[in-house]
A = this chain, B = another copy of it.
Amino acid sequence: MIAERAAFASDASHLSTFAQCLKDVRNLGANDIYNWYLASSGSNAVRTSTNFGDGTTADGSKHAVTTQPPDLKINLIYPCTDKHIAKYSSQGVRIVNETPEIYRDHIRPYMQKNRDEGRLNWVFNIIEGRTEQEDVIFRKHSNNNASQDDDQGFLVLPDLNWDRKTISSLHLLGLVDRKDIWSVRDLRRKHIPWLKDMRQKLVDATTQLYPQIEEDQLKLYVHYQPTYYHFHIHVVHVMLEAGATQAVGKALSLENVIGQLEGMDGEEAGMADVSLTYSVGEASDLWLQIFEPLKKERLKGTSDGNEI
């Protein structure tokens, strides 16, 4: 017998009562507007005799109850913004090719604006010890005397999507302390020793915290584009189901990025010098503000050319 979770019903009548029907909602944690829970979609207790609702059966004895494990993982973002809704709404996807020139002229300024708007405050709050310290499961402290280039500090948090107990779906995030690495684009050949050292420390910390896991059962990757522009590394158990978050066009193996840097010529050469192809949602700012206009320009250029 093979049991799988079924697809969610998506009819309006079910969805309109979905939240009210949740049972045994158990909070797992919270940060700012983000809250996460385990819950059950049905009645969690399977009763094996007639139930009078007060814990007694028809003959007056306590009834037998088998508790079913929770079958739902709930993330609540409250209050949420239009951006949150756009992010989680189903949308068309486009493949874009970000050349070094597009990165320099369009993406880098977009990242800068994004950072200036204070979207990284939650990250800095954690790094600087103001919030969510109870979630930090490992910390390598920065040397206060170190220049930014020598800052080897980083910390490890559980990913929002991990239930924090199922080892085979372990998902951690390593966030660097230094603020000059916004994304994989900022990695250069000179960073290889730092990256290799951090990779090893991440792996060592994880296998020490979770001794059931061996080093070669961990997969490390980065996203491009990432959700936020402060360099962070995903650490997952190799058995974690690989969905969109690990897909080609979104995820880059950390080791392969290091390998790519090793193949480059010169210490300052880096990931800003290569083309990166990835997928973006049609509702994303990246598509609407950058790649769709570029595509229209290109198509216009082509049709102008044809008219000559």
Interface set of A (CB-CB < 8 Å, partner B): 1-10, 14, 17-19, 21, 23, 38, 40-47, 50-53, 66, 68-77, 88, 90, 92-97, 161, 163, 166, 169, 216-219, 221, 238-239, 241-244, 246-249, 251-253, 255-256, 258-260, 262-265, 269, 273-279, 295
Contacts and interface: CB of A to CB of B under 8 A. Distances in A.
Copy total for this chain: 2
A44 B42 contact: yes
The 3 closest A-B pairs by CB, nearest first: A42-B42, A242-B247, A255-B277
Contacts of A93: 217, 238-239
B46 A5 contact: no
A185 B265 CA distance: 19
Given A42-B45, A263-B273, 5 more contacts: A3-B8, A7-B166, A93-B217, A94-B217, A242-B243
B68 A21 contact: yes
Would you call the interface of chain A mostly helix, strand, loop, or mixed?
A: mixed
A106 to B, nearest CB: 16
A10 B3 CA distance: 12
A18 B2 CA distance: 11
Contacts of A258: 275
Given A263-B269, A274-B262, A18 B42 contact: no
A27 to B, nearest CB: 14
